[in-house]
Each structure stands twice: as C-alpha cells, then as structure tokens.
Amino acid sequence: MIGGLRRNGHSMSALASSRSFVPGALRGTLTVPGDKSISHRALILGAYAPEPIEIRNLNPGRDVRATLEALIALGARVEGAGSSVRVLGGRLREPMGTLDCMNSGSTARMLLGVCAGADVRARFDGDESLRRRPMEPVAAQLRAFGAKIESTDGTLPLQLEGTPQVQTRRFILITPSAQVKSALLLAGLFSNEPISIVGDKFSRDHTERLLRYLGAPIEWDGTRVELRGAPTRRDAIDVAGDFSAASFFITAATIAPGSDVVIRGVGVNPTRTGLLDALLQMGAQIEVLDEREAAGEPVADLRVRHAALRGITIGPDVALRAIDEIPLLAVAAAFAHGETKITGVRELRTKESDRVAAIERLMSAVGIDVEVAANGLVIRGGTPHGAGGMVETHHDHRIAMATAVLAAGAGPLAIDSDASIDVSFPAFLETLRGVQQA
C-alpha cells in the first residue's frame, strides 16, 4: 500500500488468528488511543490548511491510516509517524490511482465531501466489507451540491467529479448522520462556500467542535449547523482519548466482579456518551473525575467499579449517542436483572458487519435470550455462562473486542479472528492483559 492507492484491487490485511479470552476482574489504571472519529477530522482539516498543523495522540488504527494515506494521494504532505504528525495541505489534486478507503466508512464518506468541494476527480473503493455499506445517502446530498457521482448500486466502487460551481448550499438531513453532515461541511469548507444543514438530532459534533477550535465561524445547536467561513488558526490538535475504546473497559469493569479501574484522558463529548448514561441508569458505579478540555472536546478520567445491574428501556435518542457501543450495552444487559429493551438499532445492520446478528451470536454463546424486532432488541438478563465457545466476528473489530468483554464476566470465550482489532485499537489485547486479573 502506497499513498492510499489500491494494488491489484485488494487492500493488505493483517495476519489473522483465533484468540481465546478468560474471565477476571480489571484493576489498575490505563489509557486508550486517540479518538478515531476526531483523528479522521483532524487530518482532513490539516489537509485544508496552507500552513502545518501538528496533531498529537492520533489514533493508530487502520481506519485512520486509510484517511492519512488517501490525503497523501490527494496531495497533502504528512511529516512524522505514529501518534504525532504534522500535516500541510493546500490545493488538492486528482490522485494517480483509486483511493483505497480500506474498511473505513468515515474515510469514504468524508473524503467524498472533500473531493466534491475541492473540485477533484477521484475513484473510491474499499475492502469487501466496506463495499457492502451504503454510500447513497451522502452521494445524493453531494449531487445536490453539484458533484457528479456514479456508484455501484449505491455502494463502492464509486467515481466522483467535484464541482467548481456549487448548486446547493442549504441541506436537510433525511436521517441524522454525523458522516453525511461532516461530508457536507467539508464540501463547503473546501469550496470556500457557506453551508447550512438542518434535520440533525444531536449526532456526533466533532467536526463542528474542531472547526470552532481552529477559529472557523460556525454555529450549531444539535438540530442545525451553519458554517460561514474557514478556520483562521493553526493551533496544535491534541486528540482526546477514544470513548468507544474506553467503553470496552468501562463495560468489562462493570460486569466482572472485583473490578476497579481508572481510565485516563477519555473524551466525554455528550454526543458520544450514550453508553455511559445507559449504564448509570442500569446501576453502574462510574465516577467522572478531573473534567477538562482538549482541542474543543470535553475530557475526563473515569473510575469504574463492578456493580449489580438492572434492566432498562433505552430509546433511540440514547441509542444514537451509543450506536457503536450497542453490542456492549447488550453485554451489560446480559448481566442485568430483568429485561433490557433497546430501540433505534436499524443502522447496526449496515456497519462493518450485521451487528444485530452479531449480538444474537454473542448472547447465544453465553446462554442469554435475545428477541430481535425490526428496529429493536429485547435482552432477558440472567447468569451468562461462557464455556469456551467460538464467536464468529465477521471481521468486525467491535465484535471481536466485545467478546473479550463478555468473557471477563461470563467465562471463557474465543473468536475466530483477531485481525480486525487493528482497525481501531491495535494495543487492545496488550492493554487488557495489563489490567485483567485472570
């Protein structure tokens, strides 16, 4: 892989191996990698800036690498490696080959907006999993913006021609989506055109916060966004710890008897902390300590101890703020007294895998009953028992790690492949070993 381009139509993948997980309390202090969502956006805004921007605590996973390499292919310069880089942007150019978005929907959807606004022609593709994920919701909006887009039945591969003449500057979100919203904001930014968006329902606001931190004139209130100009500052960006990564340890410590952990420097953006709110309502013991700010994002340390849980009803508003953590809420619900009902989960069908089906597999592996409806789940808690069974991950990083969490409280479990973990949290297994008392 060089500069985000595809070779022989395929992306390189990590060597896969099965992996077993054991029960045991979590104790001690840990940190998690930089937030994946913020890392994508920091790199992209760095590629806009004509002067270098330093980014610290960049997420080390393959998804973020997909964005970094694609931006290099589009003409951005990146200095440094690992968690600290300097990005120098300016005018982007047509890449020499297809942009390989690997497994990253964020890369594909947001860079579609970038290329549309920058008047760049580009072909987008990804791995087999990403090729199944819908691109039409963002493509339709960008066509209204003025871009020409030809997709493969609404999915990748996809060909885009940017536009020098913006047609639409006011947009309505049919379905709330942080990635579609961000693609439109980035199209406006890279075309130097004001953009307004309505119809949001408090989806992730990392793009808005980062634009404001860098001095852009932007206003939003959770339902509407208005971007009126470009960033004016080149301040260094310190990426907050990834709440989604922390969620695995939050949930594991909650369900594993004897646990007591502190997770340092976690982003606690309220558009992301639906899992935290739901677990607290279920009876979890979670303390939010030393609240502060990093690059416009709220950050805190979290202390989590084992607690008895009760079943609750989780509505679509909370589910939207916990969309990546629904499998972990299902794990917690397996240990809760009574029923837990979760609605607003339809989007899980089109993630890296069908995560509703994945939740069914997880619950089946430990003997817990789950009922699936069109847009919801009912999980009847009890005494989950893992007996070393194998869980199929379908190459989904969050399902692989959720299995480790479930095993921490339920007993031994295994996964068919651990390769997908590198997508977001390459050091997950090492971090878990460092705090788990088997």
Please write the tens of the pLDDT for every residue from 403-438. 999 999 999 999 999 999 999 999 999 999 999 975
Please give the angle made by the CA atoms of 157, 161 and 162, to the nearest 5 degrees.
125
Q: How are strands ordered across the β-sheet holding 53-56?
A: 77-81, 84-88, 53-56, 237-238
pLDDT of residue 10: 37
pLDDT of residue 16: 64
pLDDT of 4 above 80: no
pLDDT of residue 349: 83
Nearest to 110 by CA among 88, 138, 147: 138
pLDDT of residue 173: 97
Q: Of 33-37, 124-128, 393-397, which gets the smallest average pLDDT?
A: 393-397
How confident is the model over 202-229, as a mean pLDDT?
A: 97
pLDDT of 3 above 50: no
How confident is the model over 125-154, as a mean pLDDT?
A: 97
Q: Token pair of 396, please?
A: 């989904």
How confident is the model over 377-404, as a mean pLDDT?
A: 95
pLDDT of 2 above 50: no
pLDDT of 142 above 80: yes
- Map tokens 């959807």 to a residue: 109
The whole-model pTM stands at 0.92
pLDDT of residue 220: 98
% of residues, the chain, pLDDT over 70: 96
pLDDT of residue 435: 97
pLDDT of residue 146: 97
Q: Which helix (H) or strand (E) holds 279?
A: helix 274-282
3-state class (DSSP) for residue 259 = coil
Please write the tens of the pLDDT for every residue from 321-342. 998 999 999 999 999 999 999 9
How confident is the model over 148-170, as a mean pLDDT?
A: 97
Our CA dihedral for 381, 383, 387, 388, rounded to 10 degrees, sits at: 50
- Map tokens 């609605």 to a residue: 343
pLDDT of residue 24: 97
pLDDT of residue 347: 84
pLDDT of residue 15: 55
pLDDT of 13 above 90: no
Do the Cβ atoms of 55 and 43 come closer than 8 Å? yes
pLDDT of 11 above 60: no
How high does pLDDT run on average in the chain? 94
Please write the tens of the pLDDT for every residue from 275-319. 999 999 999 999 999 999 999 999 999 999 999 999 999 999 998
- Map tokens 């300097």 to a residue: 86
pLDDT of 273 above 80: yes
How confident is the model over 25-43, as a mean pLDDT?
A: 98
Contacts of 341 (CB under 8 A, 6+ apart): 311, 312, 313, 314, 376, 377, 378
Where do the domains of the chain lie, and which CATH numbers do they carry?
Answer: 19-34+241-437 (3.65.10.10), 36-238 (3.65.10.10)
Please write the tens of the pLDDT for every residue from 243-266. 999 999 999 999 999 999 999 999
DSSP of 34-82 = BPHHHHHHHHHHHHH-SS-EEEES---SHHHHHHHHHHHHTT-EEEEET
pLDDT of residue 65: 97
Please write the tens of the pLDDT for every residue from 351-381. 888 999 999 999 999 999 999 988 899 999 9
Contacts of 430 (CB under 8 A, 6+ apart): none
The catalytic residues are 324
